[in-house]
Structure 1
Amino acid sequence: MMFGYADDWWTLFFVPVVLWVPFGPFVMGGVGVWCAFRPGLRTRLWSVLLPLLPVTVSAIAMVMPLGQPTRTDDLVGYLLVYVLGITVLPWLLGWGITPGVRAVRARRRAGELRGQG
């Protein structure tokens, strides 16, 4: 019995949704870096499964009032901000910046070795 009602157990699903807004970009950036360092099925699977609960629950809450028509501009805004901005873009940044940083570090190390030798 939560909040005085026996059927409010579903509100527990909104805890990851609320936590995903401030911490999701950092988590997805880290997962993107992890995918860049260790490519493979396991890391790609985690990068899909990790945001699955908060994104799905918030999408259901967005579309849930079945009696009312879904406004297209609200749905597009949700997809742009919550899905692309909080989930996909940080993953892409982490995944894309990592090889660049590794290449710059390798070039620096090679230059240092040539200068010393």
Structure 2
Amino acid sequence: MTFGYADDWWVPVLCPVLLWVPFGPFLRGAVGAWCAARPGWRPRLWSVLLPLVPVGVSAAVTVLPPDQEKRTEDLVGHAAVHIGGITPLPWLLGYGTTRPVRAVRARRGGGASAG
């Protein structure tokens, strides 16, 4: 018991969630750009593995304990924010920005300026 409460064991479990909210969108945008720049299985695998723990833990906190009455707005809010907003939207932004930029650079001749 770190702070003297019975449920202090949740603190290390929730640390990934607390770090995911401010830094997760930046990481997801970077992974989306990585997926667009380097096609292959490794960037795709990291796209799935990176948000697995923070989103899974926050989903478990929302759903547990099972004997408690669940409110639909809590579940919808979690799905909208964590599963809908913080996780895929920055990835799509990074991916969707990198693909056209690479296409324009390829049309211009590789993006290298002669001179």
Give the 3 Å change call, closer, same or farther, for CA 7–26 of structure 1 in structure 2. Answer: same
TM-score by length of 2: 0.84
Unaligned runs of 5+ in 1: none
Aligned-partner Cα distance in 1 for 2:100–2:62: 37
Alignment correspondent of 2:32: 32
What is the aligned partner in structure 2 of residue 82 from structure 1? 82
Which whole-Å CA distance do the structure 2 matches of 1:3 and 1:74 have between them? 27
Residue-by-residue CA offset, 1:41-75 (whole Å, 9 max, x unaligned)? 11111111111111011101101132222222221
Change in CA separation of 1:68 and 1:10 when aligned onto 2, cut-off 3 Å = closer
Percent sequence identity over aligned pairs? 64
Spell out structure 1 runs of 4+ moving beyond 6 A.
none
The corresponding residue for 1:8 is 8
Aligned to 1:73: 73
Tell me how far 1:7 sits from its aligned partner.
6.6
**Which is greater in Rg?**
1
- Structure with bigger helix share is 1
Query: Aligned partners of 1:7, 1:109: CA distance in 2, in Å?
Result: 60
2:76 and 2:70 map into 1 onto residues whose CA distance is 11
Shift of 1:31: 0.4
Distance in 2 (CA, whole Å) between partners of 1:104 and 1:47 is: 25
Match of residue 99 from structure 1: 99
Aligned to 2:53: 53
The count of aligned residue pairs is: 113
Aligned equivalents of 1:67 and 1:6: distance in 2?
Answer: 19
RMSD of aligned alpha carbons: 2.3
